[in-house]
Chain A
Amino acid sequence: DAGVTQSPTHLIKTRGQQVTLRCSPKSGHDTVSWYQQALGQGPQFIFQYYEEEERQRGNFPDRFSGHQFPNYSSELNVNALLLGDSALYLCASSLGPLNQPQHFGDGTRLSIL
């Protein structure tokens, strides 16, 4: 039973660039949520995707966008990268947007130079 998988595991970018992170949900799950975890902090909710639509969004600027594909996998895109975007980006999946708990992947470590 495959868990949540994320790629890549590490990424280094420079300010102003754009980045795409990918997530495959746990087998049988159809809802994907993205979180940003800055160093020494708890994860912060970015947005949630269900039925290929963004259903909920946290307090993040429009530079953060996403997509969900028919196979339930998801991408997180960040444009015009800032130094403050350096963080661990976690993907979580669940069966349905109202269901808990959410199962997490190991994350993508994004470093901005």
Chain B
Amino acid sequence: AQSVTQPDIHITVSEGASLELRCNYSYGATPYLFWYVQSPGQGLQLLLKYFSGDTLVQGIKGFEAEFKRSQSSFNLRKPSVHWSDAAEYFCAVGEGLTGGGNKLTFGTGTQLKVEL
């Protein structure tokens, strides 16, 4: 079965500093990979996605992620963090299911705190 691991439960960075959030996945086939962000009391907003092709994908809000098949990783990066980036970040793998349909399997999330 597929799984997603986000090893960092909490991360604190200073505003203006760079950010990298780690994500490792376990999936037998070529994965569909996603990063979502969740602010308190809100749903999930899609930051970026990887389906195939270029392994470095650009997303919204200045985020990017790099797919590394050899390491089964899909880490999220941002060169300069803004205070408004404080939120919880979820990595997810999309799985096509027998009989049609698909589902997302999420990691447990990384809570990002930004110090001013």
**A and B: bona fide binding partners:** yes
The answer, yes or no, to whether B102 is at the interface (CB within 8 Å) is yes
The answer, yes or no, to whether B60 is at the interface (CB within 8 Å) is no
Compute how far the CA of A14 lies from the CA of B105 in the bound complex, rounded to whole angstroms: 29
Overall SS of chain B's interface: strand
Q: Which residues of A contact B51 (CB under 8 A)?
A: 100
Please report the total number of B residues contacting A with Cβ < 8 Å: 28
- B50 CB, min distance to chain A CBs, angstroms: 10
**Would B104 and A45 count as touching, CB distance under 8 A?**
yes
**Would A42 and B107 count as touching, CB distance under 8 A?**
yes
Bin the interface of chain A by size.
Answer: 20 to 34
In chain B between 78 and 116, which residues have their CB closer than 8 angstroms to a CB of chain A? 90, 92, 94, 96-97, 99-109
Compute how far the CA of A27 lies from the CA of B60 in the bound complex, rounded to whole angstroms: 21
Q: Which residues of A contact B100 (CB under 8 A)?
A: 50, 55-56, 97-98
The answer, yes or no, to whether A58 is at the interface (CB within 8 Å) is yes
The answer, yes or no, to whether A74 is at the interface (CB within 8 Å) is no
A48 touching B102 in the complex, CB below 8 Å, given contacts A41-B108, A98-B96? yes
- 10 CB-based A-B contacts, threshold 8 Å: A45-B105, A48-B102, A50-B100, A55-B99, A56-B102, A98-B102, A99-B102, A100-B94, A100-B102, A104-B36
B: residues with CB less than 8 A from A are: 4, 32, 34, 36, 41-46, 49, 51, 90, 92, 94, 96-97, 99-109
A: residues with CB less than 8 A from B are: 4, 6, 31, 33, 35, 40-45, 48, 50, 55-56, 58, 90, 92, 97-107
Known: A48-B102, A104-B43. 11 other contacts (CB 8 A): A6-B43, A31-B101, A42-B4, A42-B107, A45-B104, A48-B101, A56-B100, A92-B104, A101-B34, A101-B94, A104-B36
